Structure 1
C-alpha cells in the first residue's frame, strides 16, 4: 500500500496477492500516527475500547491480512487494525512461489537472496519505532485501552518485544509462525501469550518451541498456549493456499486462537 493512500479506500496494490483469499475486504483505510492502516469496525458495542492489532509478515498490507482482519473482527466483535509497517514497500508476495507450502518441501534460493537487502532496509531499528508510535497513537487517538497484538513471521518478533518487560505496550499477544525470536524474548514476556505454530518451520523449530514452552511453564503467572497445526509450514496463518483444505483448516484454527485469546485476556 503506497503512502498517501486516499483515506477510506483500498487501492489496487492493497488488493494484490499471490494466492488471494476469497472475498472483498469490508473495512477501510485510515491514518493513525500518519501510518496507512486497514481498519474493520467491530460489531460488539460492549467491546469498545478493546482492539486487536495484526502486525504483518514481510509481504505487508495486501489483501490477505485485510481478509484475516475481517474474519477475526467478525468472530470476536472487536475492532481490528492492520498498520502498514513498511511504508508501501513490502516484499512482493509473488516470491511465495519459491517457498515451501507443505512439510518436506525445500526453499528455493531466489527468495533468500531477494530478501536480504530488504531486511536491512526494514531492520528492527527501523520498524520497531513505527510499531511503538502506532500503538501509542492508537491509545491516544482512538481511546483504545486494551490491545492484543498478533504477529506473523517478522511481526511475531515485534509482538514479543511489545509484550516484554522493556516495552509492555500491549495486554496480550498471539504469535503466528514467529521468526527471529530468541530465548530472551520468552524469558522477558510479561503478558498472556499464545502461539500458532506450523508442523514444520525452519524459523521456529520443534526443539526451540519445546524450549519456549518450558520457559513459559516456569512463569505460571503468565497464561500461555501453543497450538501446533497439522500439514503446515511457515506462513500458513498469513498467506495460506485457499485451494488446500488442510492449510485452510489450520488458517482458521489460527484465527480462532486469536479470537479466543482476545476474549479471554482483553
Structure 2
C-alpha cells in the first residue's frame, strides 16, 4: 500500500452513531438513515480504519440526514479492524501497514465492492459513491466504465492511478488537502486536466494548510482542521444531493 505516516494519524470524534447493522451482498454493513424512506442511496467506502470506526459512522449519519439518502458503510476488510486506540495515542508503529495493504489490495477487494454496488443498484433509483483515503480509488472505479454509480465524491484518495482517473464517466468531486504525499501534486493536476478533457462535471476543492486524512480524522479542536471538515462535509452533501435528486 503506497502511503505515509499521515494516512494513519488523526483523532476520534465525539458523538454516538445512530445507524443499524445489517448485511449488504455478503458483507457486514453499517446503515445510516431509513432504507425504506428514500429512493436514493450512497455507498461509503471507508479509509483503513474501516466500517466500525466511529468517525466514519458519524460522518455517514450526517450525510444520510442532510442528503436525505440511505448511506451504506460496508466492511471491506474481511472483519479486520485497525484499533482506533493506535490512532488516538499515536501508536502508529504498532500497525502492520504492509500486511494490511497486502491483505486488502485492490484486486482482492474490488470484486466485493462492485457486488455491493450492484446490490444497491437493484434496490434504489439513484446511487452515489463516497470514498475516503483507501476508498478513493474504489469510488473512481465505481464511476468508471462499469458506471455502477451516478456520482462520486472522494476525499484525499490513496492507491489512485492515472488510469482510474482516465476512466471516469460520472460527475466527480475531489476534496483535496494541500499537504498530501499520497494524492500527489502530479495526480491532482492529472485529475483536474483529465476530467475537464473528458467533459465530465467536476468539483475540485483545494483545502489549504491541512493534511491528508483531515476530512475523516481531523482534530475538531484545531480551527483550521475543523473548518476543513465542515466545508468538506457541506460540499459533499451539496454535490451528492444535486446529482442524486435531479
Q: TM-score, normalised by structure 1?
A: 0.81
Which of 80, 89, 98 pairs up with 2:80? 89
Contact 1:172 1:262 in 2 (8 A): yes
Cα 1:111–1:194, aligned 2, differ >3 Å: closer, same or farther?
farther
1:153 maps to 2:133? yes
Cα 1:111–1:197, aligned 2, differ >3 Å: closer, same or farther?
farther
- SS of 1:31's partner is strand
Contact 1:64 1:239 in 2 (8 A): yes
1:225 maps to 2:207? no
Q: CA deviation at 1:164?
A: 0.8
- Give distance in 2, aligned partners of 1:204 and 1:73: 27
1:132 maps to 2:123? no
- SS of 1:136's partner is helix
Taking the TM superposition and a 5 Å limit, the aligned residue runs for 1:1-266 are: 19-41=11-33, 48-61=38-51, 62-96=53-87, 111=93, 114-140=96-122, 143-165=123-145, 167-220=146-199, 222-266=200-244
Q: CA deviation at 1:92?
A: 2.9
Count of residues paired in the alignment: 235
Q: C-alpha offsets along residues 71-94 of structure 1, whole Å, 9 cap, x if unaligned? A: 112211111111111122033334
Q: CA deviation at 1:112?
A: 9.8
Cα 1:94–1:38, aligned 2, differ >3 Å: closer, same or farther?
same
Select the structure with the greater relative contact order (CA < 8 A; seq sep ≥ 6): 2
Contact 2:42 2:128 in 1 (8 A): yes
- Give distance in 1, aligned partners of 2:19 and 2:84: 21
- Give distance in 2, aligned partners of 1:203 and 1:40: 29
Cα 1:211–1:125, aligned 2, differ >3 Å: closer, same or farther?
closer
Instruction: Extract unaligned runs of 5+ from structure 2.
Output: 1-9
- Give distance in 1, aligned partners of 2:163 and 2:74: 26
Q: TM-score, normalised by structure 2?
A: 0.88
